[in-house]
Amino acid sequence: MTGTSRSVSSDWDVSIKVTSLCRDQRVSSLGLFITLLLTWLLAFLALSTTGFAEEGAKTDSGARWSLSTLNADWEEVRNTMVAKGVAIDLRMTQIGQAVISGGKDTGSAYSGHSLGILIVDTETLGWWRGGNLWVEVEGNWGNAVNLRTGSLMPVNSNRLYPVPGRNALAIPAVTYTQFLSPYVGLSIGKVDTTLGDANEFAYGNGKGEIQFFNLAFNVNPVTVIPSPYSTLSVGVVLFPTKDSDAAFLSLTAFDSNGKANSTGFDTVFKGNTTYNFEGRVRTNFFGLTGHQLIGGMYSSKNFTSLDQNARLVIETGTIERKPNSWNVYYNFDQYLYETKKGSGQGIGIFARWGISDGNPNPARYFYSSGIGVNGVIPGRPRDSFGIGYYYLDINPLKVTVASGTRELGRDEQGVEVYYNVAVVPGIRLTPDVQVIRPGQKQVIATGKAVDTVTVIGVRLQFSF
């Protein structure tokens, strides 16, 4: 799943962030408490700052509120660079979460993530027509409560990138696209696959930075197994009209074994290739903005089978394999009310659906739905709100032993609610609550049942 871009403009809705280096660290409960205290103080400031609501105010203060970053001088420099063909935006995200009941274990954790994206338009720079370069530099640090929950869908998807489970610095994307005409573009390089499967109300660039925290509302789970986050790729993107936002169709082939922290040349296209198509069209049902998206994948990779014979594994060390994997996915978003046509402000609904082979892909079926609200709360035109529900039908890992076959796992479902507060220009604060019936039934080591888990959290984001 890959995203597309045609040229640099100041209107780009691109999350471009700065890499922040951090040493390995374990954050104590006191550190989490301080983080939560700071964020709630910022929330109080946000709710008491009505000046931010006044778009187009003619005072110096109003001009300040109209900014999108923390530094006015940098924003002016950045806008000048965009006009010359180079776009840079920088963002750092911090998340504190706590498992307050259920799951495998209660407890809290803090994590941070930062990302910088550079986009170069060769035509605007005066070099050659139709060239576009996209580069990402990304880092993460800290810990997440994902493993405490027993949930198959990580409650903090932001901590997964660029490498889950440890602190890392990587370059997950260096992609060059050459447009042969306004209707056809060819892409090659290392791609960030989270840029696909876009949705107006449940997307956040796929990384849990803007809207929902949970992975289930940022990507379609049926695509996770055959689609690595960062991988070498070649593809073509087609536009039926000169308006690239109206509709597109992408056809892509990429390495099934790609990693964010390696070049990928040692594994690329050595019999492990994933083929992906994705199309999206803007709709106008009832005179209101919406989108319909459909895609599919096929991978030639040999995966670990979900059916394993314990005796065979113990006696021979052989893990049963399953060749090939496929999936089909769909999503839509639809405004039910817009303050102004195409403004991005209003109330709408969204849904995702997916189906896969069921083995080797454990995500057999998936669907989610919810409501999104952008900029309609009186006095808070930059705030957003969302509530969503998801259901994941899994084919659990089956282990055959002398006494029979044991299934490790069950279907999973959950609900998430968030409210994204625009505190001041360049600072956003997002309280979040998730309630999930986890896919893990019990703790294997102790036999303890894994009950419905409740996770509370807050996200603090700085845009530079």
Q: Residue 324: pLDDT band by 50, 70, 90 thresholds?
A: confident
Instruction: Say if residue 22's pLDDT is above 50.
Output: no
State pLDDT tens for residues 23-51.
333 333 444 444 444 444 444 444 444 44
State pLDDT tens for residues 63-93.
444 455 666 556 778 888 888 899 988 889 9
Strands 404-408 and 321-338, bridge-based pairing: unpaired
State pLDDT tens for residues 108-123.
999 999 989 999 999 9
Burial of 242 (0-12, 13-18, 19+ CB in 10 A): exposed
Domain edges within the chain: 29-463
- Residues 348, 288: Cα–Cα separation, whole Å: 10
Assess contact for 291 and 281: CB atoms under 8 A. yes
Burial of 262 (0-12, 13-18, 19+ CB in 10 A): middle
Largest CA distance in the chain: 78
Supply 311's token pair.
């005796």
Percent of the chain topping pLDDT 90: 55
State pLDDT tens for residues 374-417.
999 888 889 999 999 999 998 876 555 445 555 667 889 999 99
Question: 346: which residues sit within 8 A by CB, 6+ positions away?
Answer: 288, 289, 335, 336, 337, 338, 339, 373, 374, 375, 376
Instruction: Say if residue 315's pLDDT is above 80.
Output: no
For domain 29-463, the CATH architecture is Beta Barrel (2.40)
Assess contact for 148 and 99: CB atoms under 8 A. yes
Question: 44: which residues sit within 8 A by CB, 6+ positions away?
Answer: none
Count, residues in the chain: 464
Concatenating the DSSP letter of every residue in 276-335 gives: EEEEEEEE-GGG--EEEEEEEEEEEEEEE-SEEEHHHHHHH-PPPEEEEEEEEEEEEEEE
- Residues 40, 35: Cα–Cα separation, whole Å: 9
- Residues 168, 147: Cα–Cα separation, whole Å: 19
Closest residue by Cα to residue 245 from 203, 291, 176: 291
- Residues 220, 152: Cα–Cα separation, whole Å: 13
Tell me which range, 215-229, 262-276, 434-448, is most confidently predicted by mean pLDDT: 215-229
- Residues 32, 431: Cα–Cα separation, whole Å: 14
Q: What is the DSSP letter of 449?
A: B
Angle at 101 between CA 97 and CA 102, to 5 degrees: 110
State pLDDT tens for residues 169-202.
999 999 999 999 999 999 999 999 999 999 999 9
Q: What is the pLDDT of residue 308?
A: 52
- Residues 464, 368: Cα–Cα separation, whole Å: 33
Rounding to the nearest 10 degrees, give the CA dihedral for residues 60, 62, 68, 74: 0
The mean pLDDT of the chain is 82
| Residue 72, helix vs strand vs coil | helix
Residue type present at position 101: S
- Residues 267, 190: Cα–Cα separation, whole Å: 13
- Residues 232, 217: Cα–Cα separation, whole Å: 25
Q: Residue 205: pLDDT band by 50, 70, 90 thresholds?
A: confident
Burial of 10 (0-12, 13-18, 19+ CB in 10 A): exposed
Assess contact for 412 and 438: CB atoms under 8 A. yes
Percent of the chain topping pLDDT 70: 77
Q: What is the pLDDT of residue 70?
A: 62
323 preceded by cis ω (within 30°)?
no
Instruction: Say if residue 349's pLDDT is above 80.
Output: yes
Residue type present at position 453: V
Q: What is the pLDDT of residue 119?
A: 94
